[in-house]
Structure 1
């Protein structure tokens, strides 16, 4: 009994120790399994975190690229906006500049028109003085008149002085206008001769303004031809299609004809102190073409007056209209007074049938064949003798 109990106790102890070992083994296994599960769970979490980081990095890169693209688009839009704004500002500046230029051009045209009108007015007022100057006494009668009366001498001196002052004022005005124009250069001609001081001054001004005048007139003529179309360039040999400066130069190559047309004969002017025609025949023979001291520019004056009237508004001035009507030449119908009362045959010439004649049959007389047979004695010849 004692042995069995001891054996059972030992078995129980062995079983208890075995069960304890099994429990310990199960606990260790479970612990290891749990540790493995924990380790696998932590690895999965690390992978998930790593994937999340990659995903977030990719999303952040995409967002950054999108932001950069948007920034680039905004920069391009800003540049385009600035360009459009600059173009608009430049357009406004150009419009403002063109507007200012047009205003300056309009003011310049008005000033030129005012100067031209004042010059024409001065020219019209001086016409009577020019025409009356041809009646002034010539030498030696002038010295006789001035020496015989002090009042006449004083009046003549005042006339000369006032004429010189008027000429000086006109020349000073012309010089002042030329100084304001930078396109007009100073003349390099230093003339010294027997001419008077006034004539030298006038000639220098003419030499100074002539190149500018020719260039400006030719330029505006070309602009006028361009605006009128290509038809203005046809017929280059015609005078009106040539340059105005060339026309003036060709006309001034021989100015003697123009000068002769301006010179008057003494017989046509009532000069103070003029001798009778019988005593002045010698002078008339010497000055057949005209006296160089007597000038008449009435033709040029009438042309200026006509252009001035044509440029005015006829509806606003009735007096101007009637003055222009008086200047216009009266056109009369060409009538053959000798052809009235059937004293002359009236007919119209048809150009197409001039020198035209219809064919007429030619009838030969009956003796014509016999006449041709007896010509040169051919009809009286013997045939044998001919052989």
Structure 2
């Protein structure tokens, strides 16, 4: 009998892998080509099978706003599909009003967004939906309408504005360059932590010290934001490696600080009541107000809730204010006619207010730091919550800055 090889007896055993290889080599490229061909008329980012637009978004991460604006120049709504979700960006004022006001209840943040941000925002107002959001919104509205909180906030921002003025004045005398945006971030962090926690963070001290809470806060914000373009973050979190390991360390620093302040503030309030003290610091900061609310069981506020409330307001008040101030200063410096009008309004305000209160305006020498700081301090004392409302041109400058450079330029939905 003639010998027969195994391949001749069972040819399919050898042909099957080759068939699969040929199939893959033909079908997958065809799949990619057809997928891209079907998008030829799409006005948004082009996607790839399974990967969505993640590659293009990642390549443009450092210029995310410019990247989106390029698409907004041809369409007012941009959809960005990702491997496990999709983001929708809108630039039409009517649509923004529809989402944020007219039909707000129909656009929840959703579980995807909540899972990304929970480690930092918890169940705070910026990371909650439905009834839980409405309850927080109502409580926050009542608290922020408080006259005491408004006046306390004015005092705090005035105090730290004077510290910033001193730093800038000395830098000017020394002919020294400064990073204005960094200084403004320190200003707003110190201010909002004083208003929110009632504590001194101290990042705006003359020697500009490093602060572990501030550093961890910045790191945590960056990493949770990167989760939106990194589909592998859950794997990194599971193995506790890379950025997710760093995030855990940062959140621990944030939580250690926050919970220690909560415990200390509760003890201070208890002691103040026992001794009948009237401590404005304890009475008017946001944390103290919410601690008082937590004493009512119906409000369902525990230490975790207090942590989430205050951190959400720190995020709301810190970066947004610093960004707006940075752009406002830039725009004023690049528009001399605006600077002149603004100076005139502020100068007239100083003279009128000083006359009303029978206050003598001290002479000063711009080259003499002591006399200049004295004049600035006197000027700051004339600024109250009510008097700020009379500075109409200043209000117009800030409003126009926000129109041109919105502090929160992205509206994103996860579906």
TM-score, normalization by structure 2: 0.21
- Bigger Cα Rg: 1
